Amino acid sequence: MQILNKETNIDFLKLRKFAMVLSILLIVGSVTSFFTKGLNYGLDFTGGTLIEVGYEQDADIPKIHDQLEAIEINGAVVQNFGSAKIVQIRMPQQEHIENAKVGDEVLSALRSEGASVTKRDQSFVGPVIGEELKEKGGLAMIVALICIMIYVALRFEWKFAVGSVFALAHDVIIIVGFFSITAVEFDLTVLAALLAVIGYSLNDTIVVFDRIRENFLRMRKGSSEEVVNTSLNQTLSRTLMTSITTLLVLLALFFYGGQTIHSFAEALIVGVFIGTYSSIYVASPVALLLGVKKEDLMPPEVEKEGEEFDMP
Amino acid sequence: MFVNQPNQQQLPINTYPKWKYVLIVIVLSLAFLYAAPNIFGKDPAVQLSGLRDAMITQQQLDEIESSWEANGVEPVSVKPSAIGEEGVKQIIARFKKDADQLKARELANDVLNPTLENQNYVTALNLAPATPEWLANLGGEPMKLGLDLRGGIHFLMQVDMEQALKRQQDQLRRDFIDTLTDQEPSIRGRVEPIENGMLLSFRNQEDAERAYEALFKEHTGRIDLQLSEKGGRPIIRGTLNQQKLQEIKDHAIDQNRVILSSRVNSLGVAEPLIQRQGADRIVVQLPGVQDSALAKQILGATASLEFRLVDHEADVVSAQNGRVPPGSKLFESEYGPIVVFDEVEVAGEHLTNATASYDPQTNEPIVSVRLDGEGGSKMTRTTTANVNNQLAMILKESRPIFDIKDGKRVLVGSELEERLISAPNINGPFGSRFQITGRFTEAETRDLARKLRSGALIAPTFIVEERTIGATLGEENIQKGVTSVIIGFALVLGFMLVYYKLFGLVANVALTLNLVMIVCVMSLMGATLTLPGIAGIVLTVGMAVDANVLIFERIREELRSGSRPAQAIDKGYGHAVSTIADANITTAIAAIILFAIGTGPVKGFAITLFIGILTSMFTAIFVSRGIVNLMYGGRTVKKLSI
């Protein structure tokens, strides 16, 4: 079976102006939403207490709200978690109740009318930790981007490095924007997913760059645009295949992995689409825009493919 | 068309030299061997451990085993799992059935802790890996499961370093004043606190210079001294140097870790984790514990130290028979029974440090103790009046109380317990600095110093993060994790087979081997499997396929451009390798950074991702090529099933 039977010859670059507009729109939208609406940060980032309780019947959420208000718990977010019988209650640090006691107080309030309630899970995160995480998360992202840029610049050329980092920043911004617009909870696992997307999208970009480099050396004639276009076409079926297999496992995680990694899977699914798009329409066009040409890739590149691994 | 094949030698196309196959077979056999412990599951077990210094004697063990035998409980194996310097500290007994496990624990508890008052042993239910002995002897161990997969409580404790530093600063003030007043004639000056040290100001330059010399002589190596001038007066800045600051922090962390460990041990939790995290935090994980309020109460309880005098007038023998004089208490200790006055001479809060060191004259191991100013003057008063009496050091700690309810041993609360840790003779009056000698070994002095410090609470801790994961949630997580891995895996396998036919099958074999290798490496590293870790594995599966996809697409391309099948395989692999390497190295960079900066779930994800990248390079390139070579190598191939 083959998805693409013959060698394709799609003029990807014809659409690059349109793609650029689309990317800019998406980025502007994401940034705007991030600064106006912000992110629905999870407990990891905000600090506070989270309690997950299980009821025997479907939970009555408005009533839970009333019960919480009765014991003066402010700012609680009550929502179903994976099932109508399971409720997650998230609340910021309470001033009048000690952190150690919040769980028990909430539980006894919920049980006050004789309902059978079991505590499934409880977390408390201090405000310092949350702040630190935001800082560290941002730092991780920046350090990762810099290290990757250095590696790509060494292995390829600085124009490619800039192109790949543009693509990565593009992906990260749009995924963060997605989480901001949809208000899906942004927790620590989403942060991990974001970094995984960097890895994935980069993987895609490098494969394309690798082919561009090869074709620059092989195709004696042809403009830079033509070389890039040919390379994109040659790698297209691989790009699609890998996206499909990765999506297959991500869908399995999304549907069967349980609530805890739901956001994680969601972030990655969005990431696979954005990452695939960006390696075609952001990374290469940026490198072209910077004027990448055959001479940039000529020797001293003496290394031959495959040599490092000593494959016969 | 012969393109670069530098290492072709005399071997025909698409064949591996023998050693490569040997290498593959060896690596894969090891992978299967060390991944195997994970399929044996776990046996119900009972863990018996001594609290503090209590050892499990052979006699006790015999008694327990005969009690089990008499009650029809037959252990699969009984083995010591922790052996201290003085004997067996912990024993793990495995059983076949859960019912046996519960019964065995009760019976063992009856032997080890015959009365409710005198509980020196902890009996805990545990799950011990059912790895066959020969495999365990080779170092085979199953992966550890994270709290999110087995349920339990996670605490992140912050050590209050400011308190620790403040105590040291107070100490420094006293030391400086001592040094200056000890001089002949004594030097007068003003002392005021500055960050991490003290600022001394003097009336004239001569005083300042003398002070500098004296301070330098006495405190060198510990503080940085700087002589300068401020507002026309000579001043000296004496600040704790980096090394000393680090030492203070390390001590504070270490002290708290030791205290937490001993308390966690008293809870009887199987496989607890107590680990330093970063500069000033400690992670405590208690698998299987569900009652967070009680756990907090026990972890948070403070130990305190008291210096009291020994009551020599009391008759030890009659005290042992229950006639303890009022105002005194009888202690059983390793030095025999001792009667000690209730009155506290100096409280442990005055202790600023206790370290194991050596007597400069005799070179014998000793413990150096330092008290703060107030403690020092109290101590001088006490010791001057009581030369030749004994100074008892009592450590007060809360410990859990268990009770039997409905045939089960449950934790009902905690009580304060007093322990005599040392009772040296007072050879002469002393004050804020003194030494405890007594034919100690080096290990003993370290232990004593640690115990003394644990009662001083140099730096208090507070909880900054707490997570309780219910046991059912843990099971749910495991189940869902496994289900999603299986489904995702099956989908990919099916898709690859349909899409690439025989080559797809090769890729699938490589993928399966990759999974085995990830499990093997994680087991060997002792890495902990968490839910995000499972996600990392799933993602690796998706991405590991990429290597084979790259190769196969390349082969198809070569076929389309008219290469003969054998050539196509060779060139397909050859061309794809550098691409795969570049792509994987960049992803590995991201994984390493995640690991370095991330904590908890992010770290778990990063570990599996990184391991997955490495193993996938081996299986997807090396092993898959090996299989393809076996199928197509060394003969004429007309058509490829790709």
Query: What is the pLDDT at residue B33?
Result: 92
CA terminus-to-terminus distance, chain A = 29
CA nearest to A200 within chain B: B587
Q: How far is B152 from chain A (nearest CA, A)?
A: 9
Angle at A187 between CA A185 and CA A193, to 5 degrees: 105
Q: Which residues of B touch A129 (CB under 8 A)?
A: 156, 464-465
CATH class of B301-468: alpha beta
Q: Flag if A198 and B579 touch (Cβ within 8 Å).
A: no
Mean pLDDT across chain B:
82
B398 or B349: which carries more pLDDT confidence?
A: B349
Q: Flag if A196 and B575 touch (Cβ within 8 Å).
A: no
Q: What is the pLDDT of residues B248-283, one digit of tens each?
A: 888 888 878 877 887 777 666 767 888 888 788 888
Whose tokens are 């030391």? That residue is B175
The lowest-confidence range among A208-212, B72-76, B125-129, B385-389 is B125-129
Name the residue ranges covered by the structural domains of chain A: 12-40+129-301, 48-125
Q: What is the pLDDT of residues B231-243, one digit of tens each?
A: 888 898 888 888 8
CATH class of B18-38+470-632: mainly alpha
Q: How far is B490 from chain A (nearest CA, A)?
A: 9
Q: Is B201 on the interface with A (CB under 8 A)?
A: no
CATH class of B43-130: alpha beta
For residue A147, which of B117, B76, B585, B184 has the smallest C-alpha distance? Answer: B585
Q: What is the mean pLDDT of residues B400-427?
A: 70
Q: Flag if A196 and B609 touch (Cβ within 8 Å).
A: yes
CATH class of B162-245: alpha beta
φ/ψ (deg, to 5) at A32: -60, -50
d(CA A73, CA B586): 47
Of B483, B545, B599, the CB nearest to A242: B545
Q: Which residues of A touch B621 (CB under 8 A)?
A: 309, 311
Contacts with A26 (C-beta within 8 Å, 6 or more apart), sequence order: A174, A177
B607 or B400: which carries more pLDDT confidence?
A: B607
Query: What is the pLDDT at residue B91?
Result: 85
Q: What is the mean pLDDT of residues A120-141?
A: 78
The SS3 call for residue B156 is: strand
What is the CATH topology of the domain spanning A48-125?
Alpha-Beta Plaits (3.30.70)
Q: DSSP label at B187?
A: P
Q: DSSP label at A294?
A: G
Assess whether the region B18-38+470-632 and the region B43-130 belong to the same CATH fold: no
Q: Is B81 on the interface with A (CB under 8 A)?
A: no
d(CA B495, CA B549): 12
Of A119, A207, A261, the CB nearest to B531: A261
Q: Flag if A207 and B583 touch (Cβ within 8 Å).
A: yes
d(CA A231, CA A208): 7
- How many C-beta neighbours within 10 Å does residue A299 have? 7
Q: How far is B158 from chain A (nearest CA, A)?
A: 10
CA nearest to B580 within chain A: A207
CATH superfamily of the domain spanning A12-40+129-301? Multidrug efflux transporter AcrB transmembrane domain (1.20.1640.10)
Q: What is the mean pLDDT of residues B6-27?
A: 80
Q: What is the pLDDT of residues A63-113, one digit of tens each?
A: 888 888 888 877 788 888 777 888 888 888 777 777 667 777 888 888 887
Q: Is B480 on the interface with A (CB under 8 A)?
A: yes
Q: What are the DSSP calls for A33-98, one per residue?
A: HHHHT---B-HHHH-EEEEEEEESS---HHHHHHHHHHTT--S-EEEE-SSTTEEEEEEPPPSSS-
Query: What is the pLDDT at residue B251?
Result: 81
By CB neighbour count within 10 A (0-12 exposed, 13-18 middle, 19+ buried), where does B195 fall? exposed
Asked whether the whole model's pTM tops 0.80, one would answer: no
CA nearest to B618 within chain A: A309
Q: Is A250 on the interface with B (CB under 8 A)?
A: yes
Q: How confident is the model at residue A301 (pLDDT cuts 50, 70, 90)?
A: very low
Q: What is the pLDDT of residues B599-625, one digit of tens each?
A: 666 777 888 888 998 999 899 888 999
Q: Flag if B583 and A311 touch (Cβ within 8 Å).
A: no
Q: What is the pLDDT of residues B95-117, one digit of tens each?
A: 887 778 878 888 888 888 776 55
Q: Which of residues 58-77 of A touch B (CB under 8 A)?
A: none
Portion of chain B with pLDDT greater than 70, in percent: 91
CA nearest to B480 within chain A: A257
Angle, helix A127-155 to helix A158-182, in steps of 10 degrees:
150
B505 or B89: which carries more pLDDT confidence?
A: B505
Q: Flag if B535 and A265 touch (Cβ within 8 Å).
A: yes
The pLDDT of residue B2 is above 50: no
Query: What is the pLDDT at residue A188?
Result: 77
CA terminus-to-terminus distance, chain B = 22
d(CA A172, CA A192): 12
φ/ψ (deg, to 5) at B35: -85, -20
Angle, helix B161-182 to helix B205-219, in steps of 10 degrees:
120
Query: What is the pLDDT at residue A31?
Result: 95
Of A122, A140, A244, the CB nearest to B598: A140
The pLDDT of residue B518 is above 80: yes
Q: What is the mean pLDDT of residues B215-243?
A: 85
CA A144 to chain centre: 14
CA nearest to B496 within chain A: A245
CA nearest to A195 within chain B: B590
Q: What is the pLDDT of residues B32-43, one digit of tens each?
A: 999 998 888 778
Q: How far is A153 from chain B (nearest CA, A)?
A: 12
Q: Which residues of A touch B586 (CB under 8 A)?
A: 148, 151-152, 199, 202-203, 206
Of B11, B156, B535, the CB nearest to A253: B535
Q: Flag if B597 and A136 touch (Cβ within 8 Å).
A: yes
B61, two tokens: 């063990």
Query: What is the pLDDT at residue A151?
Result: 86
Q: Which residues of B touch A102 (CB under 8 A)?
A: none
Query: What is the pLDDT at residue B116?
Result: 57
CA nearest to B582 within chain A: A206
Q: What is the mean pLDDT of residues A242-255?
A: 90
d(CA A237, CA A231): 11
The pLDDT of residue B527 is above 80: yes
d(CA A201, CA B487): 24
Q: What is the pLDDT of residues A149-195, one digit of tens each?
A: 888 888 888 899 899 889 989 999 999 999 999 988 888 778 778 87
> Are the beta carbons of B79 and B34 closer than 8 angstroms?
no
d(CA A155, CA A299): 12
Q: What is the mean pLDDT of residues B138-150?
A: 84
Interface mutation vs chain A, best among B476, B484, B505, most A CBs within 10 Å: B484
ipTM value: 0.81
Q: Is B18 on the interface with A (CB under 8 A)?
A: no
> Are the beta carbons of B451 and B262 closer than 8 angstroms?
no
Q: How far is A123 from chain B (nearest CA, A)?
A: 4
Q: Which of residues 36-55 of A touch B (CB under 8 A)?
A: 52
Portion of chain A with pLDDT greater than 70, in percent: 92
Q: Which of residues 530-589 of B touch A (CB under 8 A)?
A: 531-532, 534-535, 538-539, 541-543, 545-546, 549-550, 553, 556-557, 560, 573-575, 577-579, 581-587, 589
Q: Flag if B492 and A245 touch (Cβ within 8 Å).
A: yes
